[in-house]
Amino acid sequence: MPSKTTGKLAVADFIQHSAVVSELDNLKKRFDPALPGGKPLVVSDVLDADGHQYVNLVQKGGGVFGIALVGYTYVLEEMGIRFLRLAGTSAGAINTALITVIKNKQDKKSSEVLQAICDLDFFSLVDGHPAARSIIKNFITQKDYLAKARNKLLGVLAAFALLVAGDVILVGLSSQYPALYVWTGLCFILTGFLSLILGIGVAYFIDLFKRLKNSGYGINPGDVFYDWIKGLLLQNNVATVSELNEKAADCPPLQLRVPNESGLADLKGDVTFIASELVTQNKIQFPAMCTLFRTDIDTLPPAGFIRASMSIPIFFESYMINDIPTDDPRIQAAWKQYFGMSHPPATARFVDGGILSNFPISIFYNANVTVPRLPSFGIDLDDSKPADKEDNAFSWSLTGYFGRMFNTIRNYYDKDFLLKNEVYQRGVGKVDMSDDKYNWLNFFLSDEDKIDMFVQGVKAAVAFLNAFDWDAYKNDRTAMQIQLKK
């Protein structure tokens, strides 16, 4: 609920929620060696001088479900876990970006991220044409909106058909019954008025479609989001790609809990945002692949990487990088290196990274390390509805059908990696967002819904830490690497 003193959603409404306080308190008691039955929480062999344990973290995309991601990372931070390498797609890219740039790597970030959520009017992100905004809002907030809209349209068409039929009948009868002339005229007037309304409606929707086409088939420009994330980056002194890379790499001196032949020399912090490039049909990893588009990477805005990653097709306009210097040998060499292409495009067009890789945990795979020093954690958002999870293909709803089709495309690459490297699944926690009240495109969330999503993330993180076994994870990954080398 909003703060009683200000009437506005506040950070305390999230972290002081009774369920959050209870879940975290029980977790801390379980991992408090000073208490009877308590034991230390061990999730990594990489530590800093203050005892923080470091992990790699990937966050899945999922629209407004990103609030649940914040609840999950809040628990990890409260339990002394920090993040060395970070990766995310779409909504996951947003929390990934904020965790990267806020304060220092050894600091907690969740309060600042929550403050950004409290200050943001989610509905402002739907910054398209007023008619489109209205349609989107009704479509998302009213479960039977499509049925009502269809029935209204059918009613108007039926009325039009009846009026036309009435015109024909009355014209024929009025020659024999002059008294019907008045009714004939009235019927013609109503028919003409309804024809005008229908004509205006058709012309309006044609105009909207032209606007949609001219805007790259995106309903919302995404400018409000871009300005919002850019402002947050600037508040944290990140204006260039170099400053973003410096923030991601900067970390305190690290040490190993136990000796490891791989040592610490190669352990560096970094950040990755996934976007899908349509012109060349490739998965792009920002900021690592900035050299594909500019020789001076600092001419690219870091906010654009997150904007590109969350460009939900149709809902948001594509993010564009224009005027790529295709004749520059350095640009050509970069395209050759990454994709084997000799002729770079002059313009790159990006949509949601989740189209190709919604859960890019494979980024953290290092074939040169036999015994892992730290785990790769992942936060998975499960929003498939109960009826649409069934194997009986005839039981799925229409949204379930399209959801299955879309998920098959966006999850295949990541799923393939996890199947081949099954031990990585042990580092993945799943947040259940399958309740019918949740919709990943619902930018009209109530404050109560935002808090509830945060609580769901908290509960998922607590369940994950209660079950995670670092020694088993480390041993199984070691065995997997040895087997692969054979």
Query: Catalytic: 352?
Result: yes
Q: What tokens appear for 477 in the block?
A: 């990954």
- Which of 264, 370, 268 has its CA nearest to residue 46? 264
What whole-number distance in Å separates Cα of residue 194 and Cα of residue 291? 58
Contacts 24+ apart (CB under 8 A), 27-35: 27/75, 27/79, 27/462, 27/465, 27/466, 28/78, 28/79, 30/466, 31/79, 31/465
- Which of 45, 218, 127, 126 has its CA nearest to residue 443? 126
In the block, which residue shows the tokens 């993180």?
461
- Indicate which residue of 13, 45, 352, 380 is catalytic: 352
Backbone angles phi, psi at 432, to 5 degrees: -80, 110
Pairing of strands 53-59, 81-89: parallel
What whole-number distance in Å separates Cα of residue 187 and Cα of residue 181? 10
Q: Residues 377, 76: contact at Cβ < 8 Å? A: yes
What whole-number distance in Å separates Cα of residue 56 and Cα of residue 48? 15
What whole-number distance in Å separates Cα of residue 276 and Cα of residue 311? 9
Query: Catalytic: 3?
Result: no
- Indicate which residue of 44, 90, 311, 376 is catalytic: 90
What whole-number distance in Å separates Cα of residue 311 and Cα of residue 275? 8
CA distances from 344 to 48, 94, 181, 326, 465 (A): 43, 28, 72, 6, 45
Catalytic residue ranges: 90, 352
